């Protein structure tokens, strides 16, 4: 699939690869063991322009296309999943939602500083008692004049304690089911907003995961994203974009398993020859290569469709489902290739398994994606047009400097 890549794609890919490999990897195990995020990561990603990589220049971004976003996520997760998670929540689930649904005022107030990396962003949908069943959420937003009063708690929120801006979905009409949800931009300095970190996770330990609580938080009407009652559609469009970053990132995890296993198999000898010469080891490598090539092709397809402005809910779901399921399988095979060493943290493959397991749960479990694909295949499901679609990539517009007033 590399024939799709331009010189710009390759330059962005190399920049992110060098950053992740040279600046993050050397101390990664220490932060993973401490279960803390390296405080230098977000400022450095901002400095390199990664946090706004595929946002138009006029809104503070770098002006690259959506395929570049996928390449960036692949390179980040090749080193560690938590780096890609940053892009999923800050960029895929929040910044692209502002680009798609935001007013010009909201883009200037929230998207520009996010794209520049001056502010960090998160996405608040999941609750202690509501995950895949979004309509069952308990968070409420009651209108009072030209403001809303938000109450509720969001759980498993990446960057919860680091973010300045939260995209929050809450109920404005509890009796209207999915049509009773509304999306808002909530800032961390609003009175009544509190956050905290979660520890003891199986994986993604070098990242930040936590909770966001809202107690009578007053949110002005101009912070509402989309119209009242459109929150479900805003959230689903966010997931389309977030799942794309998860799919491309999980592809990087498969690649990590493949490359590490090849390296180990060429250096380890049993019965008088490298284990790479044993057919059952070769079988594992062949499967991992197949999984990587297939996952890459699926996310490339979704990225190209995004560039063309085509709805890609089905394709992105397939890419996310396939890549995440096979990243876990690749990690299991990589541990088997490494033998006893794969069972220790001397090598990275045990971390790949711990990290990969999360992605088959968040942003739609594998079971949810199986149901989606079956419904598409039977014709029971179709994508209805949204009031706002993610804009197609236009190089001239994306890379144009903002007009000075």
* pLDDT tens digits, one per residue of 287-340: 999 999 999 999 999 999 999 999 999 999 999 999 999 999 999 999 999 999
pLDDT of residue 404: 66
Q: What integer is the mean pLDDT of 140-163?
A: 97
Give the domain extent around 16: 2-120
Cα distance between residue 315 and residue 240, in whole Å: 9
pLDDT of residue 344: 94
HSE-up (13 A, CA, CB side) for residue 70: 30
On whether residue 259 sits in a domain, the answer given is: yes
331 with 356: CB under 8 angstroms? Answer: yes
Give the domain-ending residue among 169, 203, 229.
229
pLDDT of residue 131: 73
Q: Residue 129's pLDDT band (boundaries 50, 70, 90)?
A: confident
pTM value is: 0.96
Q: Provide the token pair at 384.
A: 């209805």
On whether residue 238 sits in a domain, the answer given is: yes
Q: Which helix (H) or strand (E) holds 212?
A: strand 209-220
Cα distance between residue 79 and residue 171, in whole Å: 38
Q: Count Cβ neighbours within 10 Å for each residue of 256-289 and write b for 16 or more, e otherwise.
A: bbbebbbebbeeeeeeeeebbeeeebeebbeebe
pLDDT of residue 405: 52
Q: Residue 168's pLDDT band (boundaries 50, 70, 90)?
A: very high
* Residue 365, pLDDT above cutoff 80: yes
Q: Provide the token pair at 328.
A: 């876990």
Q: What integer is the mean pLDDT of 111-136?
A: 92
Number of domains composing the chain:
3
Residues 271 and 295 in one domain: yes
CATH number of the domain bearing residue 111? 1.10.540.10
On whether residue 398 sits in a domain, the answer given is: no
Helix, strand, coil proportions of the chain in percent (round to 5)? 60, 15, 30
Give the active site residues. Answer: 363
Residues 101 and 127 in one domain: no
In 135-189, the DSSP E strands lie at 140-144, 147-158, 165-171, 181-187
Residues 247 and 357 in one domain: yes
Q: Residue 134's pLDDT band (boundaries 50, 70, 90)?
A: confident
pLDDT of residue 2: 72
Tens of pLDDT along 269-279?
999 999 999 99
Residue with tokens 């779901």: 317
pLDDT of residue 402: 80
* Residue 262, pLDDT above cutoff 80: yes
DSSP code per residue over 281-318: HHHHHHHHHHHHHHHHHHHHHHHHHHHTT---HHHHHH
Tens of pLDDT along 170-188?
999 998 988 999 999 999 9
pLDDT of residue 130: 80
Q: Residue 3's pLDDT band (boundaries 50, 70, 90)?
A: confident
Residues 290 and 374 in one domain: yes
Q: Provide the token pair at 150.
A: 């938000």
On whether residue 388 sits in a domain, the answer given is: no
On whether residue 399 sits in a domain, the answer given is: no
Which among 155, 154, 278 is positioned nearest to 217, based on CA atoms? 154
In 227-290, the DSSP E strands lie at 269-270, 273-274
On whether residue 171 sits in a domain, the answer given is: yes
Give the domain-ending residue among 52, 85, 120.
120
On whether residue 386 sits in a domain, the answer given is: no
- The secondary structure of residue 110, as a DSSP letter, is I
Cα distance between residue 75 and residue 17, in whole Å: 5
Residues 277 and 358 in one domain: yes
248 with 310: CB under 8 angstroms? Answer: no
* Residue 91, pLDDT above cutoff 70: yes
Cα distance between residue 347 and residue 338, in whole Å: 8
Q: Residue 136's pLDDT band (boundaries 50, 70, 90)?
A: confident
Which among 330, 323, 329 is positioned nearest to 258, based on CA atoms? 330
CATH number of the domain bearing residue 271? 1.20.140.10
pLDDT of residue 178: 87
* Residue 368, pLDDT above cutoff 80: yes
pLDDT of residue 62: 97
Q: Which helix (H) or strand (E) holds 376?
A: helix 366-378
Residues 221 and 246 in one domain: no
CATH number of the domain bearing residue 161? 2.40.110.10
pLDDT of residue 4: 82
Residues 6+ apart with CB under 8 A from 242: 88, 89, 92, 93, 123, 363
Residues 6+ apart with CB under 8 A from 366: 321, 324, 325, 360
pLDDT of residue 321: 98
Which among 174, 154, 178, 166 is positioned nearest to 230, based on CA atoms? 178
Q: What integer is the mean pLDDT of 124-138?
A: 86
Give the domain-ending residue among 229, 257, 292.
229
Residues 243 and 316 in one domain: yes
Residues 255 and 365 in one domain: yes
Q: Residue 385's pLDDT band (boundaries 50, 70, 90)?
A: confident
Residues 67 and 136 in one domain: no
Could you tell me the CA-to-CA distances from 55 to 37, 213, 313 in Å, in that order?
Answer: 25, 29, 20
Residues 141 and 72 in one domain: no
Residues 207 and 242 in one domain: no
* Residue 377, pLDDT above cutoff 70: yes
pLDDT of residue 314: 97
Which among 18, 38, 22 is positioned nearest to 30, based on CA atoms? 38
Q: Which helix (H) or strand (E) holds 217?
A: strand 209-220
pLDDT of residue 403: 64
pLDDT of residue 1: 66
Q: Residue 238's pLDDT band (boundaries 50, 70, 90)?
A: very high
Residues 207 and 266 in one domain: no
What three-state secondary structure class fits 219?
strand
On whether residue 258 sits in a domain, the answer given is: yes
Could you tell me the CA-to-CA distances from 198 to 39, 211, 229 in Å, in that order?
Answer: 17, 7, 31
Mean pLDDT (the chain, rounded): 96
């Amino acid at each position: 699939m590399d024939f799709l890549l331009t010189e710009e794609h390759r330059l962005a890919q190399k920049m992110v690869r060098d950053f992740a490999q040279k600046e993050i990897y050397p101390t990664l195990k220490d932060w993973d063991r401490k279960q803390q995020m390296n405080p230098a990561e977000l400022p450095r990603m901002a400095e390199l322009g990664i946090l706004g990589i595929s946002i138009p220049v006029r809104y503070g971004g770098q002006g690259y296309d959506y395929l570049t976003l996928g390449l960036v996520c692949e390179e980040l997760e090749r080193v560690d999943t938590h780096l890609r998670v940053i892009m999923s929540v800050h960029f895929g689930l929040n910044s692209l939602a502002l680009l798609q649904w935001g007013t010009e005022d909201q883009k200037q107030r929230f998207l520009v500083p996010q794209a520049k990396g001056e502010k960090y962003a998160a996405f608040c949908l999941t609750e202690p008692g509501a995950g895949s069943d979004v309509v069952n959420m308990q968070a409420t937003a009651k209108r009072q004049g030209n403001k809303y009063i938000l109450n509720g708690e969001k759980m498993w929120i990446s960057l919860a304690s680091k973010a300045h801006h939260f995209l929050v979905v809450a109920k404005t009409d509890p009796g209207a089911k999915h049509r009773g949800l509304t999306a808002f931009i909530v800032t961390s300095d609003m009175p009544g907003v509190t956050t905290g970190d979660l520890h003891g996770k199986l994986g993604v330990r070098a990242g930040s995961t936590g909770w966001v609580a809202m107690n009578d938080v007053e949110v002005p009407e101009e912070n509402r994203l989309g119209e009242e009652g459109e929150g479900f559609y805003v959230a689903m469009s966010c997931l389309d974009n977030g799942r794309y970053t998860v799919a491309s990132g999980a592809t990087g995890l498969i690649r990590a398993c493949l490359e590490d296993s090849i390296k180990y198999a060429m250096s380890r000898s049993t019965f008088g020859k490298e284990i790479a010469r044993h057919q059952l080891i070769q079988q594992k490598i062949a499967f991992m290569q197949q999984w990587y090539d297939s996952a890459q092709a699926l996310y490339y397809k979704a990225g190209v469709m995004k560039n063309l402005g085509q709805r890609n809910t089905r394709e992105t779901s397939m890419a996310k489902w396939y890549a995440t399921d096979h990243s876990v399988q690749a990690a299991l095979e990589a541990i088997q290739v490494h033998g006893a060493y794969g069972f220790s943290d001397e090598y990275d493959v045990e971390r790949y398994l711990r990290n990969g397991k999360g992605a088959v749960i968040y942003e739609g479990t594998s079971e949810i994606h199986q149901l989606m694909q079956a419904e598409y295949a039977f014709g029971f499901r179709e994508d209805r047009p949204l009031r706002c679609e993610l804009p197609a990539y236009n190089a001239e517009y994306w890379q144009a400097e903002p007009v000075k007033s």
